[in-house]
Amino acid sequence: MAVQAEWLEKDYYKVLGVAQSATEQEITRAYRKLAKQYHPDANPGSEDRFKEISAAYDVVGDEERRREYDEMRRMGPMAGGMPGGFGGQGGNFRMDDLGDVFGGLFGQSGRRQRRRAERGADLEGQVHLSFEEAVNGVTTTVSLPSQDSCATCKGSGSAPGSETKVCDRCQGLGQIQKNQGMFSIADTCDSCGGRGQVTTKPCSSCRGSGRVASSRQVKVAIPSGVEGGKRIRVPGRGEPGTGGGPAGDLFVVVHVRTDARFGRKGRHLTVNLPISFPEAVLGTTVKVPTLDGSVTLKIPAGSSPGKQLRVAGRGVPASKAHPQAGDLLVKLELEIPTETSEEFLAAVKALAAVSPEAQRDHLEEA
């Protein structure tokens, strides 16, 4: 069980405004509503709230991590007594872990404690796709903020030639002990960043952090048929872990641009096809657009406006998750001409005189 101190401190269900018994669908619905409300693009200044919402959903929105989170919350401080709980992740418990726990509990500091492995933070990126890219799937690149080792100080945080001293806050341990009932949990020292030492003269390039802001590109495979608002998880492409811990995950939020011709209904594509009155009455054969060319479609005689015809296999392509390709749903729309000639109007009047409606009116008058 991956132990994280913040799991004991933060109620992620409360952050999302749902009950602990909420279903996966209810949690996703609550997240999407809050993410839309507090997204920095729509609500400037809400970055912290948006990150808090995303962090909560990354845990309780994932079935396995939610189970670990619920178990840790149920166990309380006992869950944080040692990395991975009793048995650790995969059952890899080591005796020196026990020494770290009780060393922190009883103030034993005869040796510098081993810096605990911590999982890297999850990251969230955005991709904007065309309608066609979303339907067919695409491999695209996501640009993410990153932190690189400072070239000036080689990652030490100290100006070249300066000295370092033991951190006063953690006394060189690199960790701060937080009491949680009968056990204590060690968090990385916020003064020295876990290094146990601080510099007397910080590096001017990185301001003593040892890292500088940069960006990195991550390739992401977007599956065919993805819909707007979908979050795609890319394992291990988040922030790197510390102390040998695993990297976090990358969650990519998909945005899909609308198309002037086509719409979506699940795995099916939709299109509106205008036809004339004679074509609706007599029937005809027309060309219908698809995402990869046109196809011929037969309009049956006597077709009413609003009638839906189906072109099999011309929707969202088949995939491993969906072996059956979607269809193209064609909705007929009656096209009324705005510019007419005298001959056209005469023909319409003649048609109106012999139409079933005219015959019905004649019988009612008789």
* 15 within a domain of the structure (yes/no): yes
**What's the CATH number where 24 sits?**
1.10.287.110
**107 or 206, greater pLDDT:** 206
The residue from 93, 123, 146 where one domain ends is 93
- Would you place residue 47 in the very low, low, confident or very high pLDDT band (cuts 50, 70, 90)? confident
**7 or 133, greater pLDDT:** 133
State yes or no: pLDDT of 288 exceeds 90.
yes
Of the candidates 220, 222, 231, which has an alpha carbon nearest to the alpha carbon of residue 317?
A: 222
What is the per-residue pLDDT across 300-319, written as a single tens digit (0 to 9) for each? 999 999 999 999 999 999 98
Residue 141, pLDDT score: 92
What is the per-residue pLDDT across 239-252, written as a single tens digit (0 to 9) for each? 877 656 788 899 99
What is d(CA 10, CA 53) in angstroms, rounded to the nearest whole number?
11
Q: What is the mean pLDDT of residues 139-168?
A: 81
Residue 275's CB: how many other CB atoms inside 10 A? 19
Q: What is the mean pLDDT of residues 177-185?
A: 62
Strands (DSSP E) found in 230-313: 231-234, 250-256, 262-265, 268-275, 284-290, 293-299, 308-311
* 190 within a domain of the structure (yes/no): no
Q: Which of 92-106, 140-154, 257-271 has the highest mean pLDDT?
A: 257-271
Q: Is the pTM of this model over 0.75?
A: no
* 329 within a domain of the structure (yes/no): yes
State yes or no: pLDDT of 363 exceeds 70.
no
State yes or no: pLDDT of 110 exceeds 50.
no
State yes or no: pLDDT of 219 exceeds 80.
yes
Q: What is the mean pLDDT of residues 143-158?
A: 77
Burial class (CB in 10 A: 0-12, 13-18, 19+), 321: exposed
Residue 325, pLDDT score: 94
- Would you place residue 108 in the very low, low, confident or very high pLDDT band (cuts 50, 70, 90)? very low
Backbone dihedral angles phi then psi of residue 86, each to the nearest 5 degrees: -80, 100
* 286 within a domain of the structure (yes/no): yes
**What's the CATH number where 326 sits?**
2.60.260.20
Residue 333, pLDDT score: 94
Which residues form the domain of 46? 1-93
Inter-CA distances, 16 with 33, 58, 249, 333, 355, Å: 9, 11, 20, 44, 61
Residue 224, pLDDT score: 92
Inter-CA distances, 224 with 125, 131, 240, 278, 286, Å: 19, 11, 29, 39, 28
Q: Taking the CA of residue 302 as centre, how many other CA atoms within 13 Å lie in the half-sphere pointing to its CB? A: 0
Written as six digits, the tokens of 209 are 């952090």
Q: Provide, for the chain, the percentages of residues in helix, strand and coil under a 3-state DSSP scheme, each rounded to the nearest 5.
A: 30, 30, 45
Written as six digits, the tokens of 104 are 């922190």
Q: What is the mean pLDDT of residues 30-35?
A: 87
* 47 within a domain of the structure (yes/no): yes
Q: What is the mean pLDDT of residues 138-160?
A: 81
- Would you place residue 184 in the very low, low, confident or very high pLDDT band (cuts 50, 70, 90)? low
* 3 within a domain of the structure (yes/no): yes
Residue 213, pLDDT score: 80
pLDDT, the chain, mean: 79
Residue 55, pLDDT score: 85
Residue 3, pLDDT score: 41
* 2 within a domain of the structure (yes/no): yes
Q: Give the single-character DSSP code of 118.
A: B
Q: Which of 30-39, 170-179, 203-212, 354-363 has the highest mean pLDDT?
A: 30-39
Locate tokens 């657009």: which residue? 289
- Would you place residue 92 in the very low, low, confident or very high pLDDT band (cuts 50, 70, 90)? very low
Inter-CA distances, 151 with 105, 136, 200, 203, 353, Å: 39, 43, 19, 10, 89
Residue 10, pLDDT score: 85
Element (H, E) at 177: strand 175-180
Burial class (CB in 10 A: 0-12, 13-18, 19+), 135: buried
Report residue 362 CA to chain centroid gap.
64
* 343 within a domain of the structure (yes/no): no
- Would you place residue 286 in the very low, low, confident or very high pLDDT band (cuts 50, 70, 90)? very high
Hey, what amino acid is at 1?
A: M
The residue from 71, 93, 115 where one domain ends is 93
Whether the CB-CB separation of 67 and 20 falls below 8 Å is answered with no
Residue 129, pLDDT score: 95
The residue from 37, 68, 93 where one domain ends is 93
Residue 140's CB: how many other CB atoms inside 10 A? 15
State yes or no: pLDDT of 182 exceeds 80.
no
State yes or no: pLDDT of 83 exceeds 60.
no
Of 65-69, 121-125, 146-150, 156-160, the one with minimum mean pLDDT is 146-150
Q: How many domains does the chain have?
A: 2
Burial class (CB in 10 A: 0-12, 13-18, 19+), 60: buried
What is d(CA 240, CA 247) in angstroms, rounded to the nearest whole number?
4
